[in-house]
Amino acid sequence: MQKGRVIQSTGSWYKVKTEDKIVESRLPGRFRLEGKEVTNPIAVGDWVDITINDDGSGSIEEIHERENYLTRQATHGRRGEHILVSNLDLAFVVQSIRKPKMKEGFIDRFLVTCEAYEVKGAIIINKLDLATKSDEGYLEDVQELYEKLGYQVFTTTAFEIDCLTHLMETIKGKTTAFVGPSGVGKTSLLNAIDPNFSEKVGEVSSYSNKGKHTTTFAKLIEIENGGYIVDTPGIREFGLFNIEPWELSLYFPEMLEPRQKCKFNTCTHIHEPGCGVMEAFEAGEIDPGRYNSYINMLESIGG
| Residue-wise pLDDT tens digits, 37-79 | 666 788 999 999 999 999 999 999 999 999 999 887 765 555 6
How do the domains of the chain map onto residue ranges?
2-66, 70-231, 245-300
Class of domain 245-300: mainly alpha
**167 close to 83: Cβ distance less than 8 angstroms:** no
Q: What's the pLDDT band for 226 if we cut at 50, 70, 90? A: confident
Class of domain 2-66: mainly beta
Is residue 231 pLDDT above 90, yes or no?
no
**30 close to 43: Cβ distance less than 8 angstroms:** no
Is residue 213 pLDDT above 80, yes or no?
no
Fold of domain 70-231? Rossmann fold (3.40.50)
Q: What's the pLDDT band for 251 if we cut at 50, 70, 90? A: very high
pLDDT for 38 equals: 66
DSSP string, 231-249: E----S-----S--GGGGG
Which amino acid, one-letter code, is at 81? E
pLDDT for 209 equals: 35
Q: How far apart are CA 245 and CA 225, in angstroms?
A: 42
Q: How far apart are CA 121 and CA 110, in angstroms?
A: 8
Q: How far apart are CA 220 and CA 176, in angstroms?
A: 9
Is 238 or 164 the better-scoring residue by pLDDT? Answer: 164
Question: Which candidate, 266, 254, 274, 268, places its Cα nearest to that of 299?
Answer: 268
Per-residue pLDDT, averaged over 268-273, amounts to: 94
Q: How far apart are CA 16 and CA 9, in angstroms?
A: 9
| Residue-wise pLDDT tens digits, 128-161 | 999 999 999 999 999 999 999 999 999 999 888 8
